[in-house]
Amino acid sequence: MKITAQSVWSDVLAIRHQAPLVHNITNYVAMNTTANALLAIGASPVMAHALEEVSDMVGIAKALVINIGTLSEKWIQSMQKAMLQAQSCNVPIVLDPVGAGATPYRTETAMQLLSVAPVAIIRGNASEIMAIVQKGSKTKGVDSLSGSESAVDVAQELSRGSGSVVCITGETDIIVSHSIIAKVKNGHAMMPRVTGLGCTASALCGAFLGVNTSAFAAAVHAMVVMGIAGELAAVQAKGPGSMQLHFLDMLYALTESDIATRIRLTS
């Protein structure tokens, strides 16, 4: 599928029209931010992590987003159960290995979840992606110690081994599917100063997966929209606090012209 400004806009319209239900098992820090971002783009978010209901919720969802930001053993059990149900129902899965490489527990959890069920998109920063493949790689808490370009070879290895599309976010967002690579150069330097925007990128991948059967196209489209909304928000923002506010507004108000004039995509 050829990625163009028109293909991005077509999916934005589809999300606004269909309001796909995106089931998130995510972290306390980002829960409110990601729910609001999904609502702003036009999707319908649900944050359900109770072991007793995750299977039922996945059964009515269009995508499942698994985020390991605030880990606990019971949540891991819920993640596993939800992923198995998603596989059974053909619901696409996004995995965000937050902080993989920071502690063995996080790294091993991310790797174990990848073995539970097929994952459509793995979205993380360079250090997190490298930690999944190279267990000795380190992460600075949940922040990357490496630029996205440094993880391309590892991402290709991970994509080939898992069958997943790998989305490395950073100054340049790089989306890898086996040997196919797309680079999204949209975004703004203030975005990493707002907590939860990385998690929001994963949630938006879920929204686009809810309307597009191509995981590669969904990931690229999500990163283009994320970056352009960030650029537009930064024009009005005075700092990280107002950046978050304007980012949500820009997701909501995004136009076809915004995408056509701002998209910066290479292969």
Predicted model pTM: 0.94
- Contact in structure between 61 and 84 (CB atoms under 8 Å): no
CA–CA distances in Å: residue 99 to residues 16, 88, 180, 206: 32, 28, 26, 20
Residue 116 Cα distances to 3, 24, 130, 197, 245, angstroms: 30, 17, 20, 26, 37
- Rounded Cα distance, 187 and 47, in Å: 27
pLDDT score for 143: 45
Place of tokens 């019971």: 74
Contacts with 237 (C-beta within 8 Å, 6 or more apart), sequence order? 190, 243, 245, 246
User: What does the buried/exposed string (b/e) look like for 111-124 if buried means 16 or more CB atoms within 10 Å of the residue's CB?
Assistant: eebbebbebbbbbb
At 145 the pLDDT is 52
Burial profile 70-79: b = 16 or more Cβ within 10 angstroms, e = fewer:
ebeeebbebb
Sole residue written with tokens 């790689």: 137
- At 253, which amino acid appears? A
Eight-state DSSP code of residue 2: -
Domain ranges in the chain?
5-266
Q: SS3 for 223?
A: helix
Q: Chain-centre distance of CA 201, in angstroms?
A: 4
* Amino acid 239: pLDDT: 96
Fold designation for 5-266: UDP-N-acetylmuramoyl-L-alanine:D-glutamate ligase (3.40.1190)
Residue 183: phi and psi, rounded to 5, are -120, 125
Torsion of CA 77, 82, 84, 89, to 10 degrees: 170
The whole-number mean pLDDT for each consecutive block of 10 residues of the chain, a chain of 267 residues, reads 93 98 96 97 97 97 97 96 98 97 94 97 95 66 61 94 96 94 97 94 98 98 98 97 97 98 95
Kindly state the helix (H) or strand (E) to which residue 177 belongs, with its residue range: strand 173-177
